[in-house]
Structure 1
């Protein structure tokens, strides 16, 4: 058995809809975490022109600014704008909801922030049912 000292801080959440995707974010986000997430999203875009996305943020400890400012991160975010239909964020730091509200008028996707205790409501808003693990 291999023990990982640095497990990934972004984990995919299996959903019941082929074009609905979820991620859980915990801890301190690094460049490899972000690259992994955008890689998974790129694969989703190959299968579906438009997707719905839920990001569940628990115990967020920040991110590496160098990762956030990398060219590949900006490219991944720009590409997401073309493919994400609905984007739900659950939890996160206090600035997350106001930041989404600020950018909402400038983006074509529907976005909504939910409190950490409102995960079920966020899945309902996406019309994606519950994650597969919650069967």
Structure 2
């Protein structure tokens, strides 16, 4: 069962107990959408201490509904989850940095009061990230190195700015290196995830890239780099901001004409 208590706004209390059904999920998200329209911005306090299980179709429904909320995450700047399940708490800590515009934290049942206080104390609205620079191409000083900087929110309007330099380099043929400087990732428009031109460019780039340096101090990048290493032949390395010079030196090294695949 999923229940939503809106009597204490700007704090919305969500209680998950017993087995959650697909109808529970549908009704909950309808109520949440209406509550956010009224409140504008609210902190979320999610009590999972009584959670038992969730039906398979209810889980799929929840995923679909969550994707629909991506554009509204700024309305829920803080989400405190109270749970005694260490697996759930670990998943929250692991995935929280990946969620744009929302700060999510897990609290043990004995810290429920602290969870409520934290969720209630929502920060003031930030500047609209859609108006901040999302992606800027950098002068690498080498025709075999494409470099760019990520800072702020990447809107679907930026698709052409993202794909054009890569497509131009791909048309030249041969392998090349890339460097990404990630300062502050403010999120991405969900429509980008399904943009055919970007997906096609990524597929082509995976086969042409030799080295990919990521310069950042953000910890959430690590898991994605690990996945990239497993599914592609690209040599990917993370460099802390203080070692950016080393990253540039690495991607500017000449690419062997017969650069072998890293996977055999």
- For normalisation by structure 2, the TM-score amounts to 0.43
- Which aligned pairs between 1:24-43 and structure 2 lie closer than 5 A? 24-43=149-168
CA distance in 1, matches of 2:183, 2:202: 21
Query: Would you say the 8 A contact 1:8–1:33 is kept in 2?
Result: no
* Corresponding residue to 2:176 among 51, 61, 64: 51
For the structure 1 residues 94 and 34, does the alpha-carbon distance in structure 2 shift closer, same or farther, using more than 3 Å as the test?
farther
- In structure 1, distance between residues paired with 2:234 and 2:189: 26
Cross-structure match for 1:60: 185
Contact 2:138 2:147 in 1 (8 A): yes
Residue 17 of structure 1 aligns to a residue whose secondary structure is coil
Deviation at 1:63, TM superposition (A): 0.8
Q: Distance in 2 between matches of 1:17 and 1:70?
A: 29
Runs (5+) with no aligned partner, structure 2? 1-129, 254-264
Q: Which moved more, 1:35-44 or 1:92-101?
A: 92-101
Could you tell me how far 1:92 is from its partner in structure 2?
6.1
CA contact 1:12–1:22 (8 Å) conserved in 2:
yes
Query: Deviation at 1:7?
Result: 6.1
Q: Which has the higher contact order (CA 8 A, sep 6+)?
A: 1
Tell me which structure has the larger Cα radius of gyration.
2
Where has structure 1 moved over 6 Å in runs of 4 or more? Answer: none
Please say if 1:96 is aligned against 2:231: no
Q: Does 1:121 align with 2:246?
A: yes
* In structure 2, C-alpha distance between the alignment counterparts of 1:103 and 1:25, rounded to whole Å: 18
**1:106 maps onto 2:235 in alignment:** no
Q: Does the Cα contact within 8 Å between 1:13 and 1:23 map onto a contact in 2?
A: yes
Kindly indicate whether the alpha-carbon contact (under 8 Å) linking 1:60 and 1:92 is maintained by their aligned counterparts in 2: no
Q: Which moved more, 1:22-31 or 1:41-50?
A: 41-50
- Residue 50 of structure 1 deviates from its aligned partner by 1.1
Shift of 1:14: 0.8
Q: State the shift of 1:29 in Å.
A: 0.6
Match of 2:142 in 1: 17
Q: Provide the aligned length of Structure 1 versus Structure 2.
A: 124
8 Å CA contact 1:26, 1:57 repeated in 2: yes
RMSD: 2.0
